[in-house]
Amino acid sequence: MQERVPSPTSGAGTCAIASTVAANGVGAMDSARSRIAVLATEGRLELRDFGVFEVRVKEARKARNPRTGEEVMAPERRRVRFRAGKIMEERIAGGAAASLKSTAGSDSGS
């Protein structure tokens, strides 16, 4: 039976998937694949407190073949962009500051 996938922007949805993985023995890769499917179809996947994945389209453009110098057209491409969430950025910045303090405090002034 197909289980209903929670909204990709709900914090509760992330917890629901985590509990489903733990309860049913469903692998983390299956959970990741379902999130990738949401990203591919909707173009945006928000994980509360973690960040946002967005599909961006790079327009077709003129490029140059480096060997021959011939001008060619580079096709339109879709790329995934990640923006870290506020809490993630704060924790990363706080962790970096804490590790700098601990490193500075370990020098013995001899």
Tally of structural domains, the chain: 1
- Residue 107 maps to a domain: no
- Residue 67 maps to a domain: no
Task: Tell me the residue range of the domain where 49 lies.
Answer: 11-54+82-101
Distance, CA of 27 to CA of 46 (rounded, Å): 21
The pLDDT tens digits of the residues spanning 66-97 come to: 999 999 999 999 999 999 998 888 888 887 55
pLDDT at 3: 47
- Residue 108 maps to a domain: no
Nearest C-alpha neighbor of 8 from the set 57, 24, 26, 36: 36
Nearest C-alpha neighbor of 14 from the set 40, 50, 39, 42: 50
The pLDDT tens digits of the residues spanning 60-74 come to: 999 999 999 999 999
- Residue 97 maps to a domain: yes
Question: Residue 55: is its pLDDT beyond 60?
Answer: yes
- Residue 77 maps to a domain: no
The pLDDT tens digits of the residues spanning 11-31 come to: 555 555 566 555 555 577 788
- Residue 74 maps to a domain: no
* Residue 51 contacts residue 88 (beta carbons within 8 Å): yes
